Amino acid sequence: MALFITFEGIEGSGKSTQIALLRTALQNMGHAVIQTREPGGCAIADQIRSILLHPENTALEPTAELLLYAAARAQHVTEIIRPALDSGKLVLCDRYTDATVAYQGDGRGLDPHLIAQLNKVASQATTPDLTILIDLQVETGLGRALSREIEQQDSSEGRFEREEMAFHQRVRDGYLALAKADPKRFSIVDGGLSIAQLAVEIQKEALKLLEQKKVSA
Ligand code: TMP
């Protein structure tokens, strides 16, 4: 049976590491798993990603930014997410519609009703069964994200990391408000835990969902 799990959190929350660990754990149990990410996840959406995240694109207007996220999502859902779910796969996605609510809504202050409408259209009303929110203090997350950039000597995707601290605080608060409003779908985990401890917590949440939905490998 198809299942859709998304990962959310501020910059440097450890999503990418954790999503890969969960994918391996589920694959080792014999599940057919697709790991993907937003913005991006397929060739056309990846091209949109490079516009969205390029540090030189400081003139990108907030509404244009919102529409580009929606465009990337529409392509990604059609090309990757829907076909994978329709063929009974388990889909793990690094960021999804909640990121638009937190970043473009709480972060940029764009109209939440417009965001909800665009999210619905772009996602074809495809909602995650579980959203893992890796919560972390903004100072810690940004510190990690910047040292990763320096370590990898890659600043091609740093546009959001250059936003002021208050922006990231609004994003974190926005995520926490989303989780509070929908506790059935969200599971909040502590991004301050070690990688191994956090992986155990996330696996527990995923296995709970598999059991609830009676999904076996
Ligand atoms: P990543 O660094 O987790 O790959 O995410 C890329 C950036 O895109 C991150 O700073 C958050 C931002 N983002 C939005 O602002 N809105 C969205 O809808 C999505 C999916 C990501």
Does residue 183 carry a pLDDT above 80? yes
> Does ligand 1 lie within 6 Å of residue 186's CB atom?
no
Mutate to test the pocket of ligand 1, among 49, 121, 160, 167 (most ligand atoms within 8 A of CB): 160
Residues with Cβ within 8 Å of residue 144, at least 6 apart in sequence: 11, 12, 14
pTM of this structure: 0.96
Domain extent listing, the chain: 3-216
Residue identifier of the C-alpha nearest atom 10 of ligand 1: 160
Confidence (pLDDT) at 87: 97
Q: What is the pLDDT of residues 86-142, one digit of tens each?
A: 999 999 999 999 999 999 999 999 999 999 999 999 999 999 999 999 999 999 999
C-alpha 8/C-alpha 15 separation (Å) is: 7
162, pLDDT greater than 90: no
What are the pLDDT digits (tens) for 28-79?
999 999 999 999 999 999 999 999 999 999 999 999 999 999 999 999 999 9
8, 48, 100, 103, best to mutate for ligand 1 pocket (most atoms within 8 Å of CB) = 103
Instruction: Say what the pLDDT of residue 216 is.
Output: 83
Superfamily name and number for 3-216 = P-loop containing nucleotide triphosphate hydrolases (3.40.50.300)
Region at 10 (left for phi over 0; alpha for psi -120 to 50; beta for the rest): beta
Q: Is the Cα dihedral 184, 90, 188, 9 positive or negative?
A: negative
103 CB under 6 A from ligand 1? yes
